[in-house]
């Protein structure tokens, strides 16, 4: 396919690969159930939603990709669901089978589908072994982790063995909103739950994660890990000047490291042209990738966010596929190193 026609979606989720059967057998969140009206719903941590074929049928997803003009899509383990937090003796085999399925999807789709694996976080030894397996044996680019592990340095330190394994094998890590092992969902807001949780709180969470990475030495300690922050880094493109002002007035000898934001990778999932314009100015088009958040959102991410944005054609091309292509090429080079 001609390079100028590529469109690489770097933020989508997949609930198939054997997870349907696993979730149907459960009776505690997360699980699948059939309502009296015959509709199958996913009972998740913060509510429930209709579980359509878009969530678990790769053929449905591929058809949707084609209709949106997408040429490639990174499908991730459904991290926000909390499956990877379950006791390892219950879920490790199912996660391993799922990762095998992702690798097979990549082969069957001639590389159009790119899998981002899950790991059983209840057992870090098993999780480290799975990181090595998915990079060395399956050739998947990396893993998805719940971002609550990166709300502070102390929390991130609990994953040091996993980060070391990921660094050893040159791993991509998407930090996606999600709970830690043993963590209970916070109380629901008193009103306007979807907007408060799925927009305001989520964007704040993404910003907290990025702050942990750029204000610490994590990026330098693990140089072979590429960290992806979802949704354009949350609120950071819009509040970085306030962060710089705080440093200038309260810590004049320690400026806020705005430039380190460009050491991370971002997607524009579920956001639009105005947000993308702001993020490109701060983060750079060469650090931002197309993202849909499919199947939760079904907008064509190019038509919805990139095409109407007031960006140069070179910047649009960068976001649409060049940034992702460069990242994926780097990851494959790292995997091939002895």
Please report the pLDDT score of residue 168 as a whole number: 97
Please report the pLDDT score of residue 4 as a whole number: 64
Asked whether the beta carbons of 126 and 158 are under 8 A apart, the reply is: no
Tell me how far CA of residue 163 lies from CA of 150, 166, 170, 226, 277, in angstroms. 12, 5, 10, 11, 32
- 2 Cβ contact list (under 8 Å, min separation 6): none
Task: Name which of 257, 311, 308 is nearest 284 in CA terms.
Answer: 311
Please report the pLDDT score of residue 337 as a whole number: 86
Task: Name which of 167, 159, 260 is nearest 222 in CA terms.
Answer: 167
pLDDT, one tens digit per residue, over 193-226 is: 999 999 999 999 999 999 999 999 999 999 999 9
- Fold of the domain spanning 3-336: TIM Barrel (3.20.20)
Q: Which regions of the chain are under pLDDT 50?
A: 1
DSSP string, 170-235: T-EEEEES-PPTTPPPPPPPSS-HHHIIIIIIHHHHHHHHHHHHHSSSHHHH-TTPEEEESGGGTT
Please report the pLDDT score of residue 1 as a whole number: 43
pLDDT, one tens digit per residue, over 64-90 is: 999 999 999 999 999 999 999 999 999
Tell me how far CA of residue 85 lies from CA of 94, 142, 166, in angstroms. 13, 18, 19
Residue 183: alpha-carbon gap to chain centroid: 20
CA distance 155 to 70: 37
Please report the pLDDT score of residue 200 as a whole number: 97
Q: What is the pTM of this model?
A: 0.97
């Amino acid at each position: 396919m001609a390079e100028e026609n590529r469109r690489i979606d770097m933020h989508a989720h997949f609930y198939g690969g054997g997870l349907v059967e696993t979730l149907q057998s459960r009776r505690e969140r997360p699980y699948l159930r059939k309502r009296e009206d015959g509709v199958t719903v996913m009972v998740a941590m913060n509510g429930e939603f209709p579980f359509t074929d878009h969530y678990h049928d790769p053929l449905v997803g591929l058809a949707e990709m084609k209709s949106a003009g997408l040429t490639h899509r990174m499908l991730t383990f459904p991290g926000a669901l909390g499956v990877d937090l379950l006791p390892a003796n219950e879920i490790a085999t199912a996660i391993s089978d799922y990762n095998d399925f992702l690798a097979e999807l990549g082969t069957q789709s001639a590389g159009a589908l790119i899998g981002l694996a899950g790991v059983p976080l209840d057992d870090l030894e098993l999780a480290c072994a799975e990181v090595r397996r998915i990079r060395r044996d399956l050739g998947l680019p990396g893993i998805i982790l719940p971002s609550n592990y990166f709300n502070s340095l102390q929390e991130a330190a609990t994953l040091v063995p996993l980060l070391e394994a990921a660094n050893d094998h040159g791993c991509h890590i998407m930090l996606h909103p999600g709970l830690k092992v043993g963590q209970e969902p916070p109380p629901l807001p008193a009103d306007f739950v979807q907007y408060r949780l799925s927009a305001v709180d989520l964007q704040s969470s993404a910003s907290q994660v990025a702050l942990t990475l750029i204000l610490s030495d994590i990026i330098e300690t693990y140089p072979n890990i590429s960290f992806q922050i979802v949704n354009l880094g949350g609120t950071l493109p819009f509040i970085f000047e306030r962060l710089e002002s705080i440093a200038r007035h309260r810590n004049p000898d320690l400026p806020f490291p705005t430039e380190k934001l460009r050491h991370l990778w971002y997607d524009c999932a579920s956001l639009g042209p105005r947000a993308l314009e702001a993020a490109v100015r701060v983060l750079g088009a060469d650090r931002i990738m197309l993202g849909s958040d499919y199947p939760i959102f079904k907008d064509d991410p190019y038509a919805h966010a990139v095409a109407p944005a007031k960006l140069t054609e070179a910047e649009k091309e960068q976001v649409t596929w060049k940034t992702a292509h460069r990242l994926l090429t780097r990851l494959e080079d790292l995997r091939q190193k002895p």
